[in-house]
Chains A and B, each alone.
Chain A
Amino acid sequence: MEGTVSENDARAMIRLVAEVVALNADHAMAKRQLMDGLSRLIGADCWAWMLAYIHPERPPVHVSIQHGGYSEERFAKYLVAIEHPDMQMLLAPLAEEMLARQAHLTRLRQQIDPEERFLRSGAYPFWLEADVAPLIISVRPVNGQCLSAIGIYRRADAPLFTDRERRIAHIILTEVPWLHELGWPEDLGAKAPALSRKRRLVLNLLLEGHDRKTVADQLSLSPHTVSDYVKDIYKTFGVNSRAELMHRFRVGDNGDS
């Protein structure tokens, strides 16, 4: 029925979120547990979270932040697949709709691409190589031209996700805002807004392990500008080195002593 979920699904969602809350874990761990739990709930095999900056004239810059269910080797193959130029065919209309409506959208592959152009695209062999084909993509606008995207995947020979599974994912991904953030609001909330969009983007690229030169190239900025941004970012988070910055976000102490 339209506008309803089954009681069992509602129970499963509430139980999952409550169990994650009870872990009383740091942000990265809480997020991982919730995404792993959501994957179990809807029979998904793996998931990945990325932030993207949508440039009006250029392909978007994707930064993969966190993923689960993938082996390292398979994740590398997945990155190649999602970066394939033909993926724009699938992702661009979704990003456009999201920007136009400024709404959080969660879509099945078959909804975005009812004619199955995906299966005939140049990207498809790479997805097969990564052993992924059924997918749910959820995109959420962040600060105007950035977006948080969460992909949920199944192995290539598994059946497509159903609309029921999409709605479960949509409810959790829309109602748990911290799934789209880099830390708890108390760690970041007061500070992150002080970072401009460009600085946030630099932060994300730094966290991915890119050096200043690569960051500058990717964002079409001069290395000096990037260096200034990096200084601002270090100051904001009270760290003195890249290693410390990574530690804050990755190890997950997030400033909590």
Chain B
Amino acid sequence: MPPLVSDEDARALVRLVAEVAPLRTDHASAKRYLLNGFAKMIAADGWMATEVARRSPNKPVKVVQVLDGVPSEYTEVLWEKIRLEDPGSPVAGDRSTEEMASVTSDSPREGDWLQRAAVSSGHAPGSSPLPRIMTMQALETRRISLIGMFRRPGKPDFDARERALANLLFTEVQWLHAADWKSSTAEGMPALSPRRKMVMDLLRAGLPRKTIADELGLSIHTVSGYVKEIYAMYRVRSQAELIRRCGRSVAPAKFSCVPSESEDEMKEAQTIPVAQA
């Protein structure tokens, strides 16, 4: 007998996804809306959605884009852990991205690093597990979309139904793993090379060229060249215009300082409240 989904759950997921259309919002806000709605549906306290990239197998991973949703006390430690290449982390581990095509898991291996991240910071009681559902999907070469749903330490673990629903939503809504609407529909805008895409994401996060160059280990001249190409491709003349046109992405926690010209847009993009208990 093929697996079944309750009528009520199928309806709730269809309704949730359909609610995004009338919002007529940018891609990042749509993602946030959907993840907040789903967190509510499975009684999760927080979520994270991020793209990570590794330039070569032996180099540290780079967090390219992160959407907020994680209760703030975890944000810092999560990114610290990923940056430090915790060997237990699914991102920094030795598995190739190709092997990770669309894995949803709550196995100890995927969950451990998150738990240890919380524990090591002293924010969570040492013995309490952190209930979580992690989904990874390989994007293009060496880029991974990572979506996590979790509850506060000490709360009951997610059950089989909740994991199955997460799997349905995160594998069928492909734009949850994309950086914009277009790249999830395979038509429309010409594709950017992976490196230009990284630059693009950081530009959309409002970072100055210098910071982008430092972050990606490139010279400022190289970055400027990419920026010119990106502007030409999207027919814009400034970073502000690019953000207006393509929507804002949220920078990793480390880059909390945002150029003042974009602050208004930042507020605009974050009007949907974050799901927290």
Chain A interface (Cβ < 8 Å from any Cβ of B)? 1, 3-11, 13-15, 17-24, 30, 167, 171-172, 174-178, 184-186, 256
Contacts and interface: CB of A to CB of B under 8 A. Distances in A.
A18 B173 contact: yes
Interface stretch (B5-13, B51-59, B117-125, B230-238): B5-13
Interface of B: 2-11, 13-15, 17-18, 20-22, 24, 27, 30, 164, 168-169, 171-175, 181, 184-185
B269 to A, nearest CB: 16
A11 B5 CA distance: 10
A226 to B, nearest CB: 31
A4 B172 contact: no
Contacts of A10: 5, 9-10, 13, 168
Nearest to A256: B24
Contact of B22 (A8, A171, A174, A186): A186
B14 A4 contact: no
A4 B7 contact: yes
B132 to A, nearest CB: 22
A17 B14 contact: yes
Nearest to A20: B21
Contacts of A167: 7
Contact of B14 (A1, A22, A175, A185): A175
Nearest to B2: A6
A21 B20 contact: yes
Nearest to B30: A21
A220 B6 CA distance: 48
A9 B164 CA distance: 14
A171 B10 contact: yes
B13 A185 contact: no
Chain B CB within 10 A, most for which of A172, A176, A178, A256: A176
Contact of B6 (A3, A11, A174): A3
A8 B2 contact: yes
B224 to A, nearest CB: 30
Contacts of A14: 10, 13-14, 17, 168-169, 172-173
Contacts of B22: 178, 184-186
A14 B34 CA distance: 12
A22 to B, nearest CB: 5
Give the 8 A-B CB pairs with smallest separation, nearest first.
A4-B4, A18-B173, A7-B3, A175-B15, A10-B5, A176-B18, A15-B172, A10-B10
A35 to B, nearest CB: 13
A172 B14 contact: yes
Nearest to B185: A22
A175 B11 contact: yes
Contacts of A174: 11
Most chain B beta-carbon neighbours within 10 Å: one of A6, A9, A13, A185: A13
A6 B24 contact: no
B7 A3 contact: yes
B184 A22 contact: yes
Contacts of A30: 21
6 contacts: A5-B4, A6-B3, A14-B13, A18-B17, A171-B11, A184-B22
Given A10-B9, A14-B172, 17 more contacts: A6-B3, A7-B2, A10-B10, A11-B172, A14-B169, A14-B173, A18-B172, A19-B174, A20-B21, A21-B20, A21-B21, A21-B30, A171-B11, A175-B18, A178-B21, A184-B22, A256-B24
Contacts of B30: 21
A6 B21 contact: no
User: For B13, B22, B175, which residue has the most chain A Cβ atoms within 10 angstroms?
Assistant: B22
A17 B17 contact: yes
B181 A5 contact: no
Nearest to B6: A4
Nearest to B15: A175
B119 to A, nearest CB: 35
A228 to B, nearest CB: 31
Contacts of B24: 24, 184, 186, 256
Nearest to A15: B172
A201 B109 CA distance: 60
A52 B247 CA distance: 40
Contacts of A6: 2-5
Given A3-B7, A6-B2, A172-B14, A19 B21 contact: no
Contacts of A17: 14, 17-18
A6 B10 CA distance: 9
A172 B5 CA distance: 15
Given A23-B185, A175-B11, A175-B15, A5 B5 contact: yes
